[in-house]
Amino acid sequence: MVKRRCKGPQSSLPIDIIRDEILVKLPVKFLLRCRCVSKSWCRIIDDPSFASNHYKKCQNNQEKTRLLVLEPPDMCVAKQICAIRNGGKFRKLSKIGIDVTWFEQYQAVGYVNGLLCIKRYLKETQISQILLWNPSIRKALEIPCSRFSNDLQIRYDIDCAIGYDQVKDDYKVVASVVIQNGLYIPSDVEVFTLHTFSWKSVNVRRGPWLWRKDSPKVFLNGVIYWGALHVLVQTTLKGRFSHFMSFSVSNDTFNCIELPNNEQIHEWEYERFPIILDQSIGLMKVFESCSQIWVLEESKGKEQTWIKRFNINLQLFKKCIYFKMDGELLFAGEKCGVNSYDIKRQETKVLAKSYKLSPFYICVYMESLALLKGVPKKATYTFPPHGTVQSG
């Protein structure tokens, strides 16, 4: 069997060796430089299958696990910092300074496979842009305006989330209009598809579930989950939220999942939000004196039931920063420090003794080549490069 050989500078090596043994192991910043070596190398790196294999390599390598932290804007220096930190020690590896003006800020609403969905706000409440940003390649795409911005002449906000269709290798953004703050019943829901670079309306059953604006959302196995409240359910029995709403990215359908009752009816339940634990959808319930973690599991009859897995005797409300799917909980410590709690080992460690600002948004970050190719020609890149990139 005759192997094809690369026509570039490394012509003595077969293409499959270059692709599978060399390039796939390089960081994204080096791959971007390698695209300029030859046309054959550029074709390899731009191939969507190569981008997928490269991301899987990073995902399976715990040493490459990073944390992305989007901090609140600092108006004294007209910057909003996005920092990449070590996943184990919280040490800053690099940062991106995003130029902002007065009353301007960027809010992250979701992260999937290296791609961050961001809303740009002006005058604190008025949304002006929705962006898909890949910090690895320092590029972002501005999503075109949906029908929402054309039909409404009053101040409004858009609650949105991002998901990934693995079968079609496509990213989607689900958006609903919010006239008021807090809880709302969505009247219009639209879905943006990256491959078509357009919006479409989707059907959602009106009520009786109230959605909460900018509630925590998680994405798992093609489904987006977030909290909702049934208008007829007593909050003393179900807590702050009675259901999880879910959206299937593959077939654009909504569903709801009933949450377990509040066991500690005599204690105020501060918060409920979805988490991912061991590749299963979970629920974190935060009380005044402790926290509980429940997992949705399938029984022998193939019916899903909620099982309580952990009881955490830590008062983490107003301190909880982020829950990693491997069971590590990041929370604010004394003097604005950052601590880690392993729910399985019941171990606590200090990651940072001091941290100047409370994180605005934090997520597990993996390097990705998303948005490098396959984007429609009518799409335009925006949002930093005007920002500055610095080493940590």
Residue ranges in the chain whose pLDDT is less than 50: 1-3, 6, 8, 10, 152-153, 385-392
Scanning the chain, the segments in alpha helix (DSSP H) are 15-17, 28-34, 39-46, 48-60, 147-151, 235-238
Residue 5 lies in a domain: yes
Contacts of 1 (CB under 8 A, 6+ apart): none
Question: Distance between CA atoms of 381 and 37, rounded to whole angstroms?
Answer: 23
Domain enclosing residue 2, as ranges: 1-46
Q: What does the DSSP 8-state code read for residue 25? A: G
Q: ∠ CA 373-389-76 to the nearest 5 degrees?
A: 130
Structure confidence at residue 317 (pLDDT): 56
Question: Distance between CA atoms of 296 and 303, rounded to whole angstroms?
Answer: 10
Residue 31 lies in a domain: yes
Structure confidence at residue 281 (pLDDT): 94
Q: Can you tell me whether residue 21 is helix, strand or coil?
A: helix
The encoded tokens of residue 321 equal: 């920063």
Q: Are 134 and 370 in contact (CB under 8 A)?
A: yes
Q: What's at 391, amino acid-wise?
A: S
Residue 252 lies in a domain: no
Question: Distance between CA atoms of 140 and 380, rounded to whole angstroms?
Answer: 8
Structure confidence at residue 157 (pLDDT): 80
Residue 67 lies in a domain: no
Helix 48-60 × helix 39-46 angle, to 10°: 60
Give the sheet arrangement for strand 198-201, strand by strand: 157-165, 170-178, 189-193, 198-201
Structure confidence at residue 252 (pLDDT): 92
Q: Which of 387, 379, 382 is nearest to 171 (CA)?
A: 379
Contacts of 53 (CB under 8 A, 6+ apart): 20, 24
Encode pLDDT of 99-111 as tens digits: 888 878 889 999 9
By the 10 Å C-beta count (0-12 exposed, 13-18 middle, 19+ buried), 214 is classed as: middle
Q: Which of 332, 363, 375, 356 is nearest to 85 (CA)?
A: 363
Residue 13 lies in a domain: yes
DSSP secondary structure of 86-115: ETTT--EEEEEEEE--TTEEEEEEEEETTE
Residue 35 lies in a domain: yes
Residue 227 lies in a domain: no
Residue 9 lies in a domain: yes
Question: Distance between CA atoms of 50 and 56, rounded to whole angstroms?
Answer: 10
Number of structural domains, the chain? Answer: 1
